[in-house]
Amino acid sequence: MSLTAHDCAALDAADPLHATRAQFCLDDAEVYLDGNSLGVLPVATAPRLAEAAQAEWGRGLIRSWNTAGWIDQPQRVGNKIARLVGAAGGTLIAADSTSINLYKVLCAAALAQSTEPGRRVILSERANFPTDLYIAESVARQYGLTLVLLDSETIDAALASHLNANVAIVMLTHVNYRTGRMQDMAAVTRRVQAAGALMVWDLAHSAGAVPVDLTTADADFAVGCGYKYLNGGPGAPAFAWVNPRHAALPQPLSGWMGHAAPFAFDTAYAPAPGIDRYLCGTPSVLALAALECGVDTVLSAEALGGMLAIRAKSLALTSLFMQLMQTRCTTFNFTCVTPDNPAERGSHVSYTTTLDGYAIMQALIARGVIGDFRAPDILRFGFTPLYTRYIDVWRAVDALAAVMTQHEWREARFQQRAAVT
Amino acid sequence: MSLTAHDCAALDAADPLHATRAQFCLDDAEVYLDGNSLGVLPVATAPRLAEAAQAEWGRGLIRSWNTAGWIDQPQRVGNKIARLVGAAGGTLIAADSTSINLYKVLCAAALAQSTEPGRRVILSERANFPTDLYIAESVARQYGLTLVLLDSETIDAALASHLNANVAIVMLTHVNYRTGRMQDMAAVTRRVQAAGALMVWDLAHSAGAVPVDLTTADADFAVGCGYKYLNGGPGAPAFAWVNPRHAALPQPLSGWMGHAAPFAFDTAYAPAPGIDRYLCGTPSVLALAALECGVDTVLSAEALGGMLAIRAKSLALTSLFMQLMQTRCTTFNFTCVTPDNPAERGSHVSYTTTLDGYAIMQALIARGVIGDFRAPDILRFGFTPLYTRYIDVWRAVDALAAVMTQHEWREARFQQRAAVT
């Protein structure tokens, strides 16, 4: 029993989040399934950027640090993000990049564990997002630790064999960037902490996409990305969260904004209390203004059921996609690598292919369906409930079936490799 | 013999840089002498931001990484800044904050000197910008070095007593943020390197303000700020330069953008050759677009004599200001702390006062003349030849004389302390 385009249109008509798409600059014909890489431009962002540039910077000039609230921007935007990830106010800041924030929290965690000389290992997954591993590799070198990468498909099996008294830190991404597999944050955190290790979560593919409750999970540290499901714009500032019990730990990127008295111009560094010490240099006011608009789009759903409503629609979209793929694309040898179990699924779905996945994605994009390709063999489709419709899911599978049936991906124009896919 | 307002207007009429002010959003009445803290909004920036948001992000979406050249933005903007500081193409990138870039280069320098176990000292000035000292303090702790702060007024005397075989790194700001004193970059670099130490320059108050020639000076590392004389906007991305002879050194903020093959998704970090390894996470595309507009305003002066013309006008402006202050404000006990010798002067002029400097600056701002106050006792006036006019200098001193003569600064409304001054 397969759904028709008509059925999908009916699902959209009944969707409690149907109206949120109007907050985004998207034509009706656009099927954008790459919000997990770069979220769509909110309607509010360009006017806000114009205001920040022309009124605040242009006319307010240096005075806007006070009059336009620039000085509190990392905390203000951070407190908004906090509502989406179950963090208390005053425990999360928006600034710098995910990689840099990860460096800060991993260094703090390594320092916290330096009193346990037997704990020499940072544990992560080989399948983790590469930049996380690169940063962990650097922090491990700096603190004389060893980075051990888990290979198992399930984190349970991997932890069973590797989580022991040597482990100082476990660093995992909540939703894997390739497979879309989601970890049980509370259970994994409990298990890691029971073994005496500290738990660091990367929420890059979670914040704004799936319900996250850092406080209830009682995690130790978390970082996340501003330009995916938070719709903050290309290269938007990222965020860092630290459990208040670790708030007294130092981090090494000790810039002026993290000082206890940033305008006293002391020569010695004295870290601010709490999360403010995770600020370093001056973050871009324009970039944070755009990020705030993006976060506001997610917060706008609070009146419609918030992250639970977003999650319900996300699962409906990904389930529909997987079902339609099974019905209409089963002969093309795509292998779904995203868990069938909804509890283990984030908000994107991925398939491996033995064919030229890059060319297939290019041919699909030429048909107006934008997903992405991740080397070596992954076709990835992200679903953003605030603007992805059920009819988009139907159109995407329909287009992919056409690309495959009509061998469009074999055309020479789709074979070239570009710098970024 | 004192100049009149009429004389100043005549100087403006004859100024070869007179027309460059039209590139900025400034009313005729505005006297903005704080471009050394936050440069003025260029006319081109708001339209460029709208284009980057609406066309590139909004319509191009993820494709713009290739089609709009986002992926090369840090290098493209970096190469433009390179022309202003005497750096070769491909040796300077724009990304992250000044503090973070300083951390990167200081770590690289510390690592380079780790083969010299006798060299245990990072030398800087107590009067350096605090965030530089905070970062150096952190790097010193990390590498087991000692941060020693020089107290002498002249760097020559300070180096004579402290530059010895124990020194690994000398980190100085080219133009001091308080006094406006400029170091002789070539001479100091030569002296430091002759003693076996590495030379790190902070160009925060130099880039776009005074001629800098990193290549001829043969410095080791440099960082600088995008939001002062480069007019990149509040919290604009900063820059990092590394002498090509040090390009093989690693730096610890090893994010994906600094990888040799950022799209291969390798699990192990392999740094890109050259300056690209100083990239970490994804920088804000919007912030870099604004920075590029700001840098372009400085490059636009290349046809009018470039940094030499900017320097000539800068010295004329600061000299005029100092002369008018001496003529018209001599009875108010302001003490000039900026060198009288033009060769030792950057592009701002500072005075200490034993009165309430904060209130004096507030009263001056209320008269439409914007400078800034730096705790505990500094009144600071920045001169940006691209948009500061001779008549602005005259108006500024005229307003300050009125503030003092009429005791305006004693009014209650100017006594409050705001968060940022």
Interface touch A32/B133, C-beta < 8 Å: no
At residue B416, the pLDDT reads: 66
The minimal CB distance from B40 to the residues A61, A263, A372 is found for A61
At residue A196, the pLDDT reads: 98
The minimal CB distance from A34 to the residues B62, B254, B372 is found for B62
Mean pLDDT of A131-158: 94
Enumerate helices (H) and strands (E) in chain A, giving the number of each: 13, 13
Count of Cβ atoms closer than 10 Å to residue A407 Cβ: 9
Look over chain B and give the mean of its residue pLDDT values, rounded to a whole number.
96
At residue A420, the pLDDT reads: 47
pLDDT, one tens digit per residue, over B256-266 is 999 999 988 89
The minimal CB distance from B265 to the residues A99, A287, A374 is found for A374
Question: Is residue B252 reached through a cis peptide bond, with omega within 30 degrees of 0 on the bond before it?
Answer: no
For B281, phi and psi rounded to 5 degrees?
Answer: -85, -175
Asked if B101 and B223 touch (Cβ cutoff 8 Å), the reply is yes
Asked if A322 and A338 touch (Cβ cutoff 8 Å), the reply is yes
Say how far apart CA A77 and CA B287 lie, in whole Å.
17
DSSP A96: S
In terms of DSSP bridges, do strands B239-242 and B221-224 run parallel, antiparallel, or are they unpaired?
A: antiparallel
pLDDT, one tens digit per residue, over B340-386 is 999 999 999 999 999 999 999 999 999 999 999 988 899 999 999 99
**Does A227 participate in catalysis according to the annotation?**
yes
A96 pLDDT more than 70: yes
Residue reference for tokens 């007024």: B153
Asked if B156 and B133 touch (Cβ cutoff 8 Å), the reply is no
Instruction: Output the six-digit token pair for B378.
Output: 């500094």
Asked if A275 and A241 touch (Cβ cutoff 8 Å), the reply is yes
The minimal CB distance from A233 to the residues B63, B98, B285 is found for B285
Interface touch B137/A268, C-beta < 8 Å: yes
Residue A421: band (very low, low, confident or very high) from pLDDT cuts 50, 70, 90: very low
3-state secondary structure chain B: CCCCHHHHHHHHHHCCCHHHHHHECCCCCCEECCCCCCCCCECCHHHHHHHHHHHHHHHHHHHHHHHCCHHHHHHHHHHHHHHHCCCCCCCEEECCCHHHHHHHHHHHHHHHHHHCCCCCEEEEECCCCHHHHHHHHHHHHHHCCEEEEECCCCHHHHHHHHCCCCEEEEEEECECCCCCEECCHHHHHHHHHHCCCEEEEECCCCCCCCCCCHHHHCCCEEEECCCCCCCCCCCCCCEEEECHHHCCCCCCCCCHHHECCCCCCCCCCCECCHHHHHCCCCCCHHHHHHHHHHHHHHHHHHHHCHHHHHHHHHHHHHHHHHHHHHHHCHHHCCEECCCCCHHHECCEEEEECCCCHHHHHHHHHHCCEECEEECCCEEEEECCCCCCCHHHHHHHHHHHHHHHHCCHHHCHHHCCCCCCC
Interface touch B53/A59, C-beta < 8 Å: no
At residue B73, the pLDDT reads: 98
**Does A63 participate in catalysis according to the annotation?**
no
The percent of residues above 70 in pLDDT, for chain A, comes to 98
Interface touch A40/B61, C-beta < 8 Å: yes
Asked if B174 and B203 touch (Cβ cutoff 8 Å), the reply is yes
Interface touch B227/A65, C-beta < 8 Å: no
pLDDT, one tens digit per residue, over B130-153 is 999 999 999 999 999 999 999 977
Question: Is residue A211 reached through a cis peptide bond, with omega within 30 degrees of 0 on the bond before it?
Answer: no
Q: In A51-149, which ranges are continuous DSSP H helix? A: 64-67, 73-84, 98-112, 130-143
Residue from A32, A103, A221, A227 carrying the catalytic annotation: A227
**Does A129 participate in catalysis according to the annotation?**
yes
Say how far apart CA A205 and CA A123 lie, in whole Å.
20
- The SS3 of residue A289 is helix
Say how far apart CA A36 and CA A57 lie, in whole Å.
31
DSSP A57: I
At residue B415, the pLDDT reads: 81
In terms of DSSP bridges, do strands A348-352 and A335-336 run parallel, antiparallel, or are they unpaired?
A: antiparallel
pLDDT, one tens digit per residue, over B42-72 is 999 999 999 999 999 999 999 999 999 999 9
Residue A262: band (very low, low, confident or very high) from pLDDT cuts 50, 70, 90: very high
**Does A263 participate in catalysis according to the annotation?**
no
Residue A232: band (very low, low, confident or very high) from pLDDT cuts 50, 70, 90: very high
DSSP codes joined into one string, A194-244: HTT-EEEEE-TTTTTTS---HHHHT-SEEEE-SSSTT---TT---EEEE-G
The minimal CB distance from A254 to the residues B25, B126, B137 is found for B137
Residue reference for tokens 């039209």: B22
Tell me which chain A residues have a C-beta less than 8 angstroms from the C-beta of B177: none
Shortest Cα distance from A237 to chain B (angstroms)? 7
At residue B153, the pLDDT reads: 72
Count of Cβ atoms closer than 10 Å to residue A331 Cβ: 9
At residue B145, the pLDDT reads: 98
Question: Which one is predicted more confidently, A419 or A255?
Answer: A255
The DSSP H or E segment spanning A324 is helix A306-328
Shortest Cα distance from B414 to chain A (angstroms)? 14
- Give Rg (Cα) of chain A: 22
Residue B417: band (very low, low, confident or very high) from pLDDT cuts 50, 70, 90: low
Count of Cβ atoms closer than 10 Å to residue B187 Cβ: 12
DSSP codes joined into one string, A161-186: HH-STTEEEEEEESB-TTT-BB--HH
The percent of residues above 90 in pLDDT, for chain B, comes to 94
Tell me which chain B residues have a C-beta less than 8 angstroms from the C-beta of A256: 99, 130-131, 134
Residue from A32, A129, A177, A414 carrying the catalytic annotation: A129
Residue A213, exposed/middle/buried by CB under 10 A (0-12, 13-18, 19+)? Answer: middle
B420 pLDDT more than 50: no
Tell me which chain B residues have a C-beta less than 8 angstroms from the C-beta of A55: none
Shortest Cα distance from B308 to chain A (angstroms)? 27
Q: How far is CA B46 from the centre of its chain?
A: 23
At residue B1, the pLDDT reads: 56
Interface touch A142/B142, C-beta < 8 Å: yes
Residue of chain B with shortest Cα separation from A250: B138
Domains of chain A: 5-32+306-414 (3.90.1150.10), 47-300 (3.40.640.10)
Residue from A119, A228, A313, A389 carrying the catalytic annotation: A228
Establish, for the pair of chains A and B, how many residue pairs have beta carbons separated by less than 8 Å: 262
Mean pLDDT of A317-336: 96
Residue B154: band (very low, low, confident or very high) from pLDDT cuts 50, 70, 90: confident
In terms of DSSP bridges, do strands B167-173 and B146-150 run parallel, antiparallel, or are they unpaired?
A: unpaired
Residue of chain A with shortest Cα separation from B70: A234
Residue A1: band (very low, low, confident or very high) from pLDDT cuts 50, 70, 90: low
Shortest Cα distance from A243 to chain B (angstroms)? 23
Instruction: Output the six-digit token pair for A266.
Output: 């002391």
Interface touch B134/A40, C-beta < 8 Å: no
The minimal CB distance from B282 to the residues A53, A57, A97 is found for A97
B421 pLDDT more than 50: no
At residue A245, the pLDDT reads: 97
Shortest Cα distance from A52 to chain B (angstroms)? 9
**Does B129 participate in catalysis according to the annotation?**
yes
Question: Which one is predicted more confidently, B157 or B231?
Answer: B231
At residue B365, the pLDDT reads: 96
A361 pLDDT more than 50: yes
Mean pLDDT of A277-305: 98
At residue A417, the pLDDT reads: 61
Residue from B227, B373, B381, B383 carrying the catalytic annotation: B227
Residue of chain B with shortest Cα separation from A233: B57
Say how far apart CA B410 and CA A199 lie, in whole Å.
56
